[in-house]
Structure 1
Amino acid sequence: MERDEPGSVSDLFWAVARRLRHTSRETLAPWDVTPSQLRALGTLMRHGAARPGALAKHLGIAPRSATEVVDALEQRGLVRRETDPDDRRATLVVVTDAGRELAAAVRKARATETDRAFAGLPDADRAELERLLRRLLAEWEPSAEDPPVGRH
């Protein structure tokens, strides 16, 4: 085995993850959006409007970091802050039409890159990889104690 060649499952996993991160950065470049911003946008699209604190917990980041992400998205018109109708003292972060359009474009570009990245795998191997990745994700599903994202 060559010195730089990954050997263990862990090494292989992280080598693939690094390559995917690099490809993701290249894919996101035309939209000038960071992975953190895209994750926040995706979370809001999947779960609906959310208070910044709930968004921070869902993303696993500090509330201050979530505020910075939301500020950047808001400056670009991808999200807006609204008063929570259930509690006028609270603010909700809501995805705008521009945010939905950007997310759809990025999702399409990422799907194309993913297809390219895994094109060399036979269908059976792709299906097995998908099965294994779903199993790993299921192991890490949030617990019942984790706060829901979305309106309270």
Structure 2
Amino acid sequence: MDFEHADAINQAVRLLSLRHRARAATMLAPLGLHPGQEALLLELDRNGAMIQAQLSEALGCEPPSVTLMTRKLEASGHIRRRPAPSDRRASIVELTDSGRELAGQVKRMWCVLAEETVTGLPAGTVAELPGILTAMTANVDTRRSGDPHGRRPGLVAEPGGTTTDRAR
């Protein structure tokens, strides 16, 4: 790939990321949330109570970031934390009733944001986007790669939003 094409791809990804996050922040503010907190609420809504370390892994965040988010969401009454019975040093995090209600509001907002983001794109492109973006994320995810440069050759986005590791 030549530099001009690489630069166009990297700039587009960077700008999308920055502008999507800024738009999300604007939409989350009236709900009393900051970016990242909505992902935590949605993860708990999707999977139920989780140990904080599992939540950190699921969100792709460092544990101190999840600790800060959980403290703020607990203070606002949207989640509760309790010691894990098997390990008193670990905390189990779960939604409260107000957290479940807020997760519903976030879901509605998330739909609006997604619709804004893909406006004007062909339906086929929109259908393929989750798979393409997942493959792109995996390609730069150094946490899961043995390659010191973070490369994962062979990961391909398939039609219908799935990815296949062609290297296996």
Q: Same fold (TM over 0.5)?
A: yes
Aligned residue identity for 1:111: C
1:55 maps to 55
Q: Structure 1 residues 92, 135: closer, same or farther in 2, change over 3 A?
A: same
Higher strand residue share: 2
Distance in 1 between residues matched to 2:89 and 2:11, nearest whole Å:
48
Contact 2:52 2:90 in 1 (8 A): no
Contact 2:51 2:91 in 1 (8 A): yes
| TM-score (normalizing by structure 2) | 0.67
Q: What percentage of residue pairs aligned between the two structures are identical?
A: 33
What does 1:39-50 correspond to in 2, within 5 Å?
Answer: 39-50=39-50
By relative contact order (CA 8 Å, sep 6+), the higher-ranking structure is 1
Post-superposition CA distance 1:117-143 (Å, at most 9, x none): 322112233234344224335655x86
**Cα RMSD (Å):** 2.7
2:133 maps to 133
1:25 maps to 25
| TM-score (normalizing by structure 1) | 0.73
Distance in 2 between residues matched to 1:30 and 1:86, nearest whole Å:
38
Contact 2:28 2:34 in 1 (8 A): yes
What does 1:81-96 correspond to in 2, within 5 Å?
Answer: 81-87=81-87, 90-96=90-96
SS in 2 for 1:8: helix
Once structures 1 and 2 are overlaid, which stretch shifts more, 21-30 or 42-51? 42-51
2:36 maps to 36
Aligned residue identity for 2:23: T
Gaps of 5+ in 2: 1-5, 145-168
